[in-house]
A and B are shown apart, each in its own frame.
Chain A
Amino acid sequence: GAGVSQSPSNKVTEKGKDVELRCDPISGHTALYWYRQSLGQGLEFLIYFQGNSAPDKSGLPSDRFSAERTGGSVSTLTIQRTQQEDSAVYLCASSQSRGNTEAFFGQGTRLTVV
């Protein structure tokens, strides 16, 4: 596609439910990033995929969070047993390669846990 696509754009879920957020990166981009932006806050790094290398999961806040990237393309971020503090905008970005000068961001998924 022309840009990074994320779905859904908005998600409201009940506390304790699991959610899946999807990211479709730009075709050919080998690097994929997930960030979280809480209201009025900066971007918190969650996880980074680069090609076939093991992902950098150092930013995942708890074991309720996991992500996978199938076939080096689409990525899914899963949050199990959601909590109210998980409410945020989840942003995905992709770039052509490690250290590439430009990471392109999707519009984000706004997650609200009620």
Chain B
Amino acid sequence: GEDVEQSLFLSVREGDSSVINCTYTDSSSTYLYWYKQEPGAGLQLLTYIFSNMDMKQDQRLTVLLNKKDKHLSLRIADTQTGDSAIYFCAETAGRRALTFGSGTRLQVQP
């Protein structure tokens, strides 16, 4: 079945860049997403990328997709304390529900 893997924890200093990595197994994945979950809150879609793209930039966020290696990354430039949250990678082939990773907890130190 589909599987999505993420590292559990990342700690960075304020102002540095953060890179959160994700790998997935389904080669038919069409849409790949990054969601953010702040403490006690629901999931907020940050950005997404189609499988026919290899990069997408949206303000401080850069998504890189290596389809050959089934590797997705999210880079947050100039990380702020407000970026502290859990970041979930998710994918779907469009015919089924989203499959989520276990989430990466980003801790931003002042």
Q: Kindly supply a per-residue 1/0 record for chain B positions 35-61, scoring 1 wherever the CB is within 8 Å of any chain A CB and 0 otherwise.
A: 100000111110010000000000000
Q: Kindly supply a per-residue 1/0 record for chain A positions 95-111, scoring 1 wherever the CB is within 8 Å of any chain B CB and 0 otherwise.
A: 00011011111111000
Number of B positions contacting A (CB below 8 A)? 24
Q: Which residue of A lies closest to B99 (CB)?
A: A45
Q: Which residues of B are interface residues toward A (Cβ below 8 A)?
A: 30-31, 33, 35, 41-45, 48, 88, 90, 92-103
Contact, CB under 8 Å: B30 / A33: no
Number of A positions contacting B (CB below 8 A)? 21
Contact, CB under 8 Å: B42 / A107: yes
Contact, CB under 8 Å: B102 / A41: yes
Q: Which residues of B contact A48 (CB under 8 A)?
A: 96-97
What's the nearest-Cβ distance from chain B to residue A106, in Å?
6
What's the nearest-Cβ distance from chain B to residue A18, in Å?
25
**How far, in angstroms, from A108 to B44 measured CA to CA in the complex?**
12
What's the nearest-Cβ distance from chain B to residue A30, in Å?
13
Q: Which residues of B contact A104 (CB under 8 A)?
A: 45
